[in-house]
Chain A
Amino acid sequence: KAGVTQTPRYLIKTRGQQVTLSCSPISGHRSVSWYQQTPGQGLQFLFEYFSETQRNKGNFPGRFSGRQFSNSRSEMNVSTLELGDSALYLCASTLTGGHKVDTQYFGPGTRLTVL
């Protein structure tokens, strides 16, 4: 089974621009979560999508948004980029929900640099 794929792997943008990142989960997985990782803040949860609906959201400003398509692929968008948005953006997929914490399978990430 193919793993989680993220595109692009690297991206350079300037302040004020917007960016869209893409994530394709493992086949059959319906939940996609997004995380931001920076040296100072570590891994921080952005949001989770399940069956095209945002199920939970972290503590990020409205400039960060996302969506999920019917094939479970997900995109996240960051508008009006700031220097502090430079980070590794990770996508994780899980099969579904349930009592037990599902294993999250992470993609390689997209390294975003804002100049």
Chain B
Amino acid sequence: LAKTTQPISMDSYEGQEVNITCSHNNIATNDYITWYQQFPSQGPRFIIQGYKTKVTNEVASLFIPADRKSSTLSLPRVSLSDTAVYYCLVGDRSGANNLFFGTGTRLTVIP
């Protein structure tokens, strides 16, 4: 399973756009990139998933360059409620569901 590297923490003011970059140099051809959000004492929650180029949903965008060795989660106009830990994961199915979560990025939104 490909491992990931993310910044340990980030701070942002309310209303700003936040970009969290994840490095996954050993990503394999069949791997997808998935981001989860976790609030304290809760289970992680799926945010977005992509394979290449750009994916956008109602809460975030995911940018993946051509070489796929990194990806960037973009949160537009963050609010205080976006304060959480964000995890980047890469993996395929391979008959297993043991995703490696890594340490995640602790985002703190400041009023």
CB within 8 Å of B: which residues of A? Answer: 4, 31, 33, 35, 42-45, 48, 50, 55-56, 58, 88, 90-92, 94, 97-109, 111
Residues of A within 8 A of B42 (CB): 106, 108-109
User: Do A101 and B93 form a contact, CB below 8 Å, given A108-B43, A109-B41, A109-B43?
Assistant: yes
Residues of B within 8 A of A (CB): 30-32, 34, 36, 41-46, 49, 87, 89, 91-93, 95-104
Q: How many A-B residue pairs lie within 8 Å, measured between CB atoms?
A: 78
With A45-B98, A48-B98, A55-B95 given, is the CB distance from A101 to B87 under 8 Å?
no
Partner of B44, one of A45, A58, A106: A106
A104, B92: Cβ atoms under 8 Å? no
